[in-house]
Amino acid sequence: MQINRRKLRSYKEFLLILPFLAVVAIFSYFPLYGWIYAFHDYRPPFPITKDTFVGLKWFETIISNPTRTKNIVRVLRNTFAMSGISLAFSWFPMVFAIFLNEIKCEPYKKFVQTVTTLPNFISWVLVYSIAFNLFGSFGAVNTVLQNLGLIDAPIAFMKSSDHVWFTQWLWLTWKNAGWAAIMYLAAITGIDEEMLEAARVDGATRMKIIWHITIPCILPTYFVIVMLNLANFLSNGMEQYYVFQNAFNTKYIEVLDLYVYNMAMSSTGAYPLSTAISILKSVVSIVLLVVSNTASKLIRGEGFI
Amino acid sequence: MKRFLAFLLAMIMVLSMSISVAAAEQEVLVLDIYDDAANYHGMQTGWFGQVVKERFNIELNIIAPQVAGDAVYQTRAADGNLGDIIILDKTRFQDCLAAGLIKDISDKLPECTNIMAYKTQIDSLNQGLGYAEGVYYGIPSEMTDTSPVTLTDDVIYSSPMLRWDQYTAVGRPEMADLDGLLDTLALIHEQFPTNENGDPAYPLSLWADWDGNDNMIGIANVVQLTTWYGEKIKGSAILRPDNTFVEIYDKGASYYKLARFLNKANQMGLVDPESGEQDWNAVCAKMSNGQVNLMWYSWSTGFWNSQDRLDNGTAFIFVPVKDQTYYCDADAYFGTTRVFAVGSKVEGEKYDRIMAFLDWYASPEAMEFQHSGIEGLTYTKDAEGKFVPYMDNALMDNLPVDQYVEGYTGGYQDGFNAINQWIGNALNTNPNTGEGYAQKFWAAYKAKNMTPMKQEWMDHFQAADSVDYMKKNGVLLASPNVSVALQTDTNDIGLIRVDVNKVLCEYTWQLIFCAEEDFDALWDEMVEQMDGFGYKDLYAFDCANYQTEVDAKVAAASAVAE
C-alpha cells in the first residue's frame, strides 16, 4: 500500500515536470529533425525522398575542395579570434562592476549604471546606424576632423579592415558591459558585510578590500560565466557581424553563424551544406563544453553540469 | 387566415433562401497572391483595391518574398501551397511545376479572350516546357503586341546620362571613350562640387545591395555598365556582340574594363566616398537631391527629371561616348522573366472567379488603370478621346484620389496596384485611343516634352531621340526577345554560384577602391579564388544553358532578315 502511495506521488511529480519536458522536446529536440537536410540533395520546392539521399556528400564537400576548406578555415579563424578576444577580456565587466560598486555618490552610480546598461536593449541594426552616423564617410567624426583641418579626405572607417576584430569587440563591449556587470553587482551584494567590516577594522585600504575580499568572493561567479561562454565559443552570434559586414571587412568579420546564414539564404543550392556545417558546429560545441567541464572538475574540484 | 399566414411564411422562407444564394455569389473572396515582383506585403488597399472589389468582390492578399524574405518561398513551397495566384520567376516556376504546385488551366484559359490575345506567346511558353498544344500552366508577364525584334521605346534601359545644363556648362566636350567620359565628369565635378543646397555631389554614387541579382554574378553597378560595350552578362558568362561567350573575369571583356573605369574614377576623386557603405535607398535619396551627376538606368531619371527641370534644361539626358555600342533588349514580345500561374489547390467557384479576374487583369480597362492611371487624376480625354496628361505629380506627391475622382479614397501612390506585375506591356496599343498605354507614348505628352532643352539636344546630336541617335550611328544592339526554357541549377552548381559570386563581389569592391598599381595583382588573386571554387564548371554549365537562348535569338533575327 505504501509503495503504491509513493508510486502515485512519483507519478504526480512527474506530471509537474511534464510541461517542461514537453517544451524542451518541442523547442530543443524536435528541431534536430532538420538535420536530415544535411544528408539529402534538398532543394525547395521538391520534398526530400529516398532518391534525394546522398549520405555524407555535403560533409565531404567541406574538405574535398581545397579552396572551400581554406575558406572555412578562414571563417573558423574569425570565429576563434572574435570569441578569443571576448574571452580574454571577459574580466572587464567584473572589474567594471567592482569599480561601479565603489562609487559612493548614489545618484551618480545609478546614472552610470543606467547609461551603461541601456545599450543592451538597443538592437544591432540601430547600433549599426549609430556607427554609420558617427564613423561613415560623411559621419560626425569625419566632419569634425575635416572642419578642424586635420584631414583632407574622409577616413573610411567603415570600409577599413584594419583592427576590425578589435573594433568589433569594442562595439560588443559598449553594448554588453553594463548588462554583464549586473551579475557581478548581485554577487558583490551577496558578500558578507561582517567580513568587510572586519577588514576595515583591521585597517585594510579600499584597494586591499577589493583585492583580498571582493575579487575572491565573486570569482566563482566569474568562472561559471566563463565556462558558459566557452560552450558558446563557436556561436558568437550573427546579428552584429551581419549588420557590420561589407565587401571590405567580410574577410575578417564573417564568423561561423554568419557564414551558415549567408550560405543558406543566398541560394537554395547551399541549404544542405549549411545544415552540415551547423551540425559540425553543434558537435564541436558539445566537445568544448565537456572539455571545459572536465577542466573545471580537475582545477576547482567541481563541475557545473 | 391560418392558410394565408402559412403561405406568407412559406413565401418569406423562399425569399430569404434566394437572398442567401445571392449573398453566397457575392461573398468576399480573399486571394493569396504569391508575388515575386511585389514590394509590398499585405492586403491591397486604396483605389486599386476598391476597383477590384467593386468589380469582383475580391480582396488581394499579397505575399511578397522581396519584403518577407525568401524563406516565405521555401516554407510555402514545402507546405505544398504557394498561393491562389502565383507570380514566379521562370526557373522557379519550372521547379514548382515539377513539384505539382501549379494548376493546369487548359480548360478555362481559352475562354479568357483578353489573355488569349497573346496566344502565340502563351503557346510558346507552355510548349517550350514540353506540353502539347492546348495545354496551359503559365502565362508570361508584360507581353507586347509588337514583335520580338521591334524596339518601341525611344530610350534604352542603360546608357550614360548627364544633366544637360552641367554638360553644357563644361562646353559639351565630345567623348571618345571612357577616359573621355571621366575627363568630362572631372570637369563637372570641379564646377559643381555640391548641389544647390551645398550638399556634396559626386558623379558616381554606388550601392552594394543589388549585387548578384537578376541571375547575373558580380556587383550590380559594374554588371549594368557592361551593356555599354555591347556585352551582356548571362549567369557567370559574358555574351559578346558576336554571340560567343567569354569568362566574366577575362581581361579583354567588359567586366574588367568597367571595373577599371570605376577604379580610375575613384583615383580621380569622382566616386562618392559613401559608395559601398550605403544602400540603394540612400543613393535614391541622393539622386532626388541632385547629389549624383551621372545616371545610367533610364528609369532612374524619374527621381530627378520633373516637368520644371525639363523646361529649364536641368534634366538628365543621354550623352554618347563614341567608342560604345549599346546593348538592349528588344520589346518583350514573349514576356519578361516572370510567369503568372494558378495554385494547384484552387478548385470550384474560386477557380472561376480567379480566371475571370485574371482575364480582366489583361483587359484594356485594367491596363488603363495600371499604365495610364485614373481618368480625372493622371489624365483627361481630349475631343477625340485621346489621353492628355493631368496632375503629373500624382505618384510623386501621393495625391489624395478623392479630391479628383469620386468613389475612391486614399493617396494615389498608396493605392497603386501592389501586385507590381502585369500581363500586357505598357507599350501595347490601347484600342480605345490608338496610342500606347504609358504616358510617354501619348501625342499630347510628346508635344509637351518638346522643350528647348530637347530641341538643343536634337540640334547638337542630329537625332530625334537617343535610340534614333544610336540607330543612325550604328551603335545599337537590340537583342531579339525569345522564349526558351532554361535549366535550373542543381545543388552542386548552385553552391559554386554562391561562392563564386561572393568572391567576385567582394573583390570587385576592393578593386574599385584599391591603388591603381595593385589592380592587376588583386584581379589575379580573385581569378585564382574563383577557379578554386569551381568557376570553370559553372561557366560550362551556363554556356551550355544560355546557348539555347542565343540560338533562338539568332533564329529570330534571321527570320526577320528574310
Domain ranges for chain A, please list them: 37-50+58-299
Interface test with B, best of A267, A274, A277 (most B CBs within 10 A): A267
pLDDT confidence of residue A61: 87
What order of strands is seen across the sheet that includes strand B232-234? B232-234, B237-239, B245-247
With bands split at pLDDT 50, 70 and 90, how would you rate the model's confidence at B24? very low
A136 Cβ under 8 Å from any chain B Cβ: yes
Of A154, A247, A263, the CB nearest to B273: A154
pLDDT confidence of residue B19: 45
Same domain, B388 and B314: no
SS (H, E, C) B75-113: HHHHHCCCCCEEEEEHHHHHHHHHCCCECCCCCCHHHCC
Residue B83 lies in domain: 29-145+336-424
B493 Cβ under 8 Å from any chain A Cβ: yes
Element (H, E) at B30: strand B29-35
Predicted confidence (pLDDT) per residue in A10-29, tens digit: 899 999 999 999 999 999 99
In terms of DSSP bridges, do strands B232-234 and B237-239 run parallel, antiparallel, or are they unpaired? antiparallel
Predicted confidence (pLDDT) per residue in A136-163, tens digit: 888 899 989 988 988 888 888 888 888 8
Which option is the CATH number for A37-50+58-299: 3.30.300.130, 1.10.3720.10, 1.10.1740.10, 1.10.760.10? 1.10.3720.10
Of A41, A45, A138, the CB nearest to B101: A45
Predicted confidence (pLDDT) per residue in A258-296, tens digit: 998 888 876 666 888 889 998 988 888 888 888 878 887
B421 Cβ under 8 Å from any chain A Cβ: no
% of chain B with per-residue pLDDT over 70: 95
Same domain, B478 and B554: yes
User: In the structure grid, which three cell numbers stand for residue A18, read together?
Assistant: 511534464
Domain boundary among B369, B395, B424: B424
Chain A: closest CA distance from residue B497 (Å): 8
Residue B71 above 90 pLDDT? no
Position B473 in a domain: yes
Residue B4 above 60 pLDDT? no
B484 Cβ under 8 Å from any chain A Cβ: no
With bands split at pLDDT 50, 70 and 90, how would you rate the model's confidence at A1? low
Contact A44 B532 (CB under 8 A): no
What order of strands is seen across the sheet that includes strand B29-35? B42-43, B58-63, B29-35, B85-89, B338-342, B139-140
Q: What is the mean pLDDT of residues B495-522?
A: 94
What's the start-to-end Cα distance of chain B, in Å? Answer: 88
Same domain, B242 and B123: no
B277 Cβ under 8 Å from any chain A Cβ: yes
Q: What is the mean pLDDT of residues B318-328?
A: 96
Q: What is the mean pLDDT of residues B487-511?
A: 92
Contact A41 B510 (CB under 8 A): no
Are residues A188 and A214 in contact, defined by beta-carbon separation less than 8 angstroms? yes
Q: What is the mean pLDDT of residues B157-173?
A: 96
Rg of the Cα trace of chain A?
25
Contact B491 A68 (CB under 8 A): no
Contact B497 A269 (CB under 8 A): yes
Chain A: closest CA distance from residue B64 (Å): 16
Position B179 in a domain: yes
* pLDDT: which is higher, B87 or A42: B87
Closest CA to B239 of B557, B479, B499: B479
pLDDT confidence of residue B33: 97
pLDDT confidence of residue B553: 92
Predicted confidence (pLDDT) per residue in B218-242, tens digit: 999 999 999 999 999 999 999 999 9
Are residues B167 and B321 in contact, defined by beta-carbon separation less than 8 angstroms? no
Position B538 in a domain: yes
Residue corresponding to grid cell 553644357:
B168
Domain boundary among B424, B455, B490: B424
Same domain, B326 and B343: no
For the entire predicted model, the pTM comes to 0.86
Contacts of B529 in chain A (CB under 8 A): 67
User: In the structure grid, which three cell numbers stand for residue B265, read together?
Assistant: 574614377
Contact A43 B491 (CB under 8 A): yes
Residue B108 above 90 pLDDT? yes
Predicted confidence (pLDDT) per residue in A83-94, tens digit: 999 989 999 999
Position B429 in a domain: no
Domain boundary among B377, B393, B424: B424
Q: What is the mean pLDDT of residues B88-112?
A: 93
Predicted confidence (pLDDT) per residue in A63-115, tens digit: 888 999 999 999 999 999 999 999 899 999 999 999 999 998 999 999 999 99
With bands split at pLDDT 50, 70 and 90, how would you rate the model's confidence at B210? confident
With bands split at pLDDT 50, 70 and 90, how would you rate the model's confidence at A185? very high
Cβ neighbors of A276 (< 8 A, separation 6 or more) are A38, A58, A59, A61, A62
Position B218 in a domain: yes
Position B173 in a domain: yes
Contacts of B492 in chain A (CB under 8 A): 269
Contact B96 A136 (CB under 8 A): no
CATH number at residue B260: 3.40.190.10
A71 Cβ under 8 Å from any chain B Cβ: yes
Of A61, A250, A263, the CB nearest to B506: A250
B403 Cβ under 8 Å from any chain A Cβ: no
Rounded CA-CA distance B109/B115 in Å is 8
* Number of domains making up chain B: 2
Are residues A200 and A209 in contact, defined by beta-carbon separation less than 8 angstroms? yes
Position B214 in a domain: yes
Position B433 in a domain: no
